[in-house]
Amino acid sequence: MADDANPVFNIQRMYLKDLSLEQPNSPQILLEQQQPQVDIQLAVGAGQIADGVFEVTVTATVTTKVGEKTLFLVEAKQAGIFEIRNLPEDQVQSIVGIVCPQMIYPYLRAIVSDVCTRAGFPPILLNEVNFQAMFQAQQEQAAQQAQQGNGSRIITGLN
């Protein structure tokens, strides 16, 4: 059974794990004529759910405000289940932290844009993301925290 040692990478499933839309100041805020400020936060999460099977999530939180009042807030979490076997641990981490989020992200972008338009707002188009740079920054931060002996603070968002 030499095939048992061959590297395996399979997409088991892509799915929308969580979706939230809030318009706390509607309908009054809809009468405002000012240009809203948009803040976008991204986070990547991953966990092993079985031997060689991982769930990877990419979450976008989009907050739009007019002045101090929230126009709308969208939070969407797109997930995928991936089978990854017969690879060295460092390669598995890179695949889970870079390749999987790159595959999930286009679905998340479409969902955020669609939810905004269905809520009656112009679409929010999320920019492309360099998941490799994001992964490397997280690795460097984890290494610094390990050196300092402070593992209590983890930043997962981007502006």
Q: Which among 42, 19, 21 has a CA at the least distance from the CA of 129?
A: 42
Fold for the domain defined by 2-139: Bacterial Protein-export protein SecB (3.10.420)
pLDDT given at position 142: 83
Q: Does residue 130 surpass a pLDDT of 90?
A: yes
Q: Does residue 84 surpass a pLDDT of 70?
A: yes
Q: What does pTM read for this prediction? A: 0.84
- Sign of CA pseudo-dihedral 100, 101, 107, 111: positive
Q: Pick the residue with more confidence: 106 or 120?
A: 106
Arithmetic mean of pLDDT over the chain: 89
pLDDT given at position 139: 86
pLDDT given at position 4: 66
Distance, CA of 122 to CA of 120 (rounded, Å): 7
Distances (CA, A) of 158 to 32, 39, 41, 136: 28, 10, 5, 13
Assess contact for 157 and 45: CB atoms under 8 A.
no
Two structure tokens written together for 17: 């794990």
Residue 68 CB neighbour total at 10 angstroms: 5
Q: pLDDT band at residue 153, thresholds of 50, 70 and 90? A: very low
pLDDT given at position 42: 95
Mean pLDDT to the nearest integer, 12-30: 93
Strands (DSSP E) found in the chain: 8-22, 37-50, 53-66, 69-85
Domain boundaries, the chain: 2-139
